[in-house]
Amino acid sequence: MPDLANAFWTDAERHLVRYGSAFTPEIIDRAAGSFVFAADGRKILDFTSGQMSAILGHSHPRIVETVQRQIATLDHLYSGMLSRPVVDLARRLAETLPEPLEKVLLLTTGAESNEAAIRMAKLVTGKHEIVSFARSWHGMTQAAASATYSAGRKGYGPSAPGNFAIPVPNPYRPDFTNVDGSLDWKRQLDFAFDLIDAQSTGSLAACLVEPILSSGGVIEPPLGYFSALQDKCRERGMLLILDEAQTGLCRTGTWYAFERDGVVPDILTLSKTLGAGLPLAAVVTSPEIEQEAYDRGFLFFTTHVADPLPAAVGNTVLDVLIDEELDARARSLGDYLRKGLIDIAGRHSVVGDIRGRGLLAGLELVVDHETKQSSDELGTRVTKRCLELGLHMNIVQLPGMGGVFRIAPPLTATEDELALGLAILDQAIGDCAVR
């Protein structure tokens, strides 16, 4: 129906505000499992789980059943009212986490959860300065955006005062090096906090970081880094806030990415994966911090705080993660995915690095292995060719970094679906790299 499609794009161009990258040139009609389906019938494998969120795939039967049941009985309440789904989800989330993380605030988006966490940290410490990674993404609301450095800082006037960036410990592109050329992250971290101390007015409240930087290029700091970072925070009376929007709830092969490092954050933020594609987020902290925040009058009264409908969905997400042992599945499928990506790297010289954990993987494209020179044009071509072949991919292109594909298929994907995605990516890189 060419006329209907033309009308659709005419209406989109006339009436929609453009809010980021260009719109994918497909009219998406429906989605199921690991695939989305265009209005013309084209089947497209979704290697990003929607917006890195649909960890159970699209239209999971148990999620569909929960939404249908819950919306018919209890959908939305006055924000001061409580319901069983909310209290059940708070208790069950606490049961998945180490002590003392047991106090839960249920919200909607990752930006909102980070906003609440920053607000809580500032109130509890009585200070206002926030430290984050230089390639971070924490959201587009005021405090979250002020702690976001990968994009969106220019043209909007002053960010919140007291925000500082520290360098990302990137083993593939080390800035501080040992004799053998490997990343000297300890020296980098010491240098970073020397600069922070020089700039601080003595009001350091918190450090907000992702255990694996996803929008920053799927960069995982080396083992030991977060323990050392936590020590830096403790020395300065700062709280450590970990943003597990994209890494939490089995995505990396463990329930939470921070488990690898043996640290427990003062405040944990969750979103995306918690609602499996529906708007649900959480802030989790200790009774001690919650009590101090309460005593000081903590205020985060929003329209959809503690809403029963998304909370019911969150409970079903936990049910499926537990019943289907999706943490173990993410480890197994992650090994399969990584092996496939390494095979691709062995066939194409433009693949510079493979990284990530579980079912969150990164593939970095370069045009020169020695200099690690990147090419935005190559990344764009490969992304476009993947879509033509039936695979939706997301590529991160930041200054000073090659194009990095963020690969995050649903935890419910099959090996056959991963094999299909790998084959298409292999062909797309081959088709584009020879031009």
As to burial, measured by CB atoms within 10 angstroms (0-12 exposed, 13-18 middle, 19+ buried), residue 10 is: exposed
Q: Is 406 a catalytic residue?
A: yes
Buried b (16+ CB within 10 A) or exposed e, 353-364: bbbbbbbbbbbb
Which pLDDT score is estimated for 416?
98
- Omega before 100 within 30 of 0, i.e. cis: yes
Q: State yes or no: pLDDT of 114 exceeds 70.
A: yes
pTM score over 0.95: yes
**Active-site residue, 246 included:** yes
Q: Which of 127, 135, 251, 272 is catalytic?
A: 272
pLDDT of res. 369: 86
pLDDT at 434 over 90: no
- The answer to whether residue 35 scores a pLDDT higher than 70 is yes
Rounded-to-integer distance, Cα 10 and Cα 407, Å: 32
pLDDT at 337 over 90: yes
Catalytic residue among 46, 115, 129, 243: 243
Mean predicted confidence (pLDDT) in 211-222: 96
Helix, strand or coil, per DSSP, at residue 347: helix
Mean pLDDT across 104-126: 98
255 tagged catalytic? no
For the chain, give the number of residues.
435
Is residue 272 among the annotated active site residues?
A: yes
The token duo for 249 is: 């709830």
> Is the distance from CB of 356 to CB of 218 less than 8 angstroms?
yes
Concatenated DSSP letters of 91-129? HHHHHTS-TT--EEEEES-HHHHHHHHHHHHHHHHT--E
CB 342 within 8 A of CB 348: no
The CA-based angle 300-304-107, given to 5 degrees, is 65
Catalytic residue among 103, 137, 185, 290: 137
In this predicted structure, what is the pLDDT of residue 375? 83
Q: Cα(77)–Cα(291) distance, rounded to whole angstroms?
A: 25
Neighbouring C-beta atoms of residue 30, cutoff 10 Å: 11
Write down the mean pLDDT value for the chain.
96
CB environment 86-112: b (16+ within 10 A), e (fewer): beebbeebbebbeeebbbbbbbbbbbb
- Selecting among 70, 188, 230, 246, the annotated active-site residue is 246
275 in Cβ contact with 128 (< 8 Å): no
pLDDT tens string 357-405: 999 999 999 999 889 988 888 999 999 999 999 999 999 877 666 689 9
Pick from 290, 291, 294, 249: which is nearest to 273 by CA? 249
Cα distances (Å, whole numbers) of residue 93 to 3, 174, 265, 309: 49, 37, 15, 16
User: Which helix (H) or strand (E) is 165 found in, with range?
Assistant: strand 163-166
Q: How confident is the model at residue 317 (pLDDT cuts 50, 70, 90)?
A: very high
Whether 2 shows a pLDDT value over 80: the answer reads: no
> Which pair of tokens denotes residue 211?
């255990």
Residue tagged active-site, from 230, 255, 406, 417 = 406
Residue 1 is predicted with a pLDDT of 63
pLDDT at 234 over 70: yes
Active site residue 137: yes
Amino acid making up residue 115: E
Single out the catalytic residue among 112, 210, 307, 353: 210
Whether the Cβ atoms of residue 391 and residue 31 lie closer than 8 Å to each other: no
H/E segment holding residue 396: strand 394-396
How does residue 166 score in pLDDT terms, banded at 50, 70 and 90? very high
Please answer whether residues 269 and 283 qualify as being in contact, where contact means their C-beta atoms are separated by less than 8 angstroms: yes
Structure letter (DSSP) for residue 177: B
- Domains, the chain, with CATH or none: 2-59+325-433 (3.90.1150.10), 74-323 (3.40.640.10)
| Per-residue model confidence as pLDDT tens digits over 18-34 | 998 889 999 999 999 99
Mean pLDDT across the stretch 85-92? 98
Q: How far is CA 252 from the centre of its chain?
A: 11
The CA distance from 146 to 143, in Å, is 5
Assess whether pLDDT exceeds 80 at residue 340: yes
